Structure 1
Amino acid sequence: MLWTILGWLVFGLVAGFIARAVVPGKDNIGLPMTILLGVLGSVVGGLLFGLLTVGVRGFEPAGWIGSVIGAVIVLVAYNKFTGRKGRASR
């Protein structure tokens, strides 16, 4: 159980960092939010991948790719919802 939680945290951290690197602009969300971004992105990506294919494949490359895509979707939605990155600097 502990190793599962640690695995999700590391997985979320990596997926969240990659998503933050892909989405342009500066993110001031911190490490806990990056982990949460990655974990939520993994869930979103897994759901989208499951809709397009038959079944979930776990920690295979498609799982990583789907997680990063999901994390990008979650980050863009978060930025739109909170109003970050959309405002012009004055």
Structure 2
Amino acid sequence: MGISLLTAVIVGLIIGALARLVLPGRQNIGVIWTIVIGIVAAIIGTFIARFLGVADTRGIDWIELILQVALAAVGVSAVAGSRRSVRR
């Protein structure tokens, strides 16, 4: 359980960071939100990739990774946008 939780946090951090890199401008959200969004996006992206039958391929699962990063980008953008509208 401990290793899987650590793996989820690491994957979430990487996916969240990649999402923030593909978004233009600055996103005013913290590291914790980035990790949480990354973890959720990684889980949902994996389910979608499995449903489409592209989750387990030889080598790097590029389609799954693209789905995860795209979902995380949407999540980061949504959270950053909602935080921006609350501050005004």
Give the TM-score, by structure 1 length: 0.71
Counterpart of 2:32 in structure 1 is 32
Change (3 A) 1:84 1:43: farther
Q: CA deviation at 1:79?
A: 3.5
Deviates more, 1:13-22 or 1:42-51: 42-51
Q: Give the TM-score normalised by the residue count of structure 2.
A: 0.73
Structure 1 runs, 4 residues or longer, greater than 6 Å off:
none
| Greater Cα shift, 17-26 or 41-50 | 41-50
Output the aligned Cα RMSD: 2.2
Richer in helix (by share) = 2
Task: Provide structure 1 residue ranges, at least 5 long, that are not aligned to the other structure.
Answer: 86-90
Number of residue pairs the alignment of both structures matches? 81
- Aligned-pair identity in percent equals 27
Q: Distance in 2 between matches of 1:22 and 1:55?
A: 23
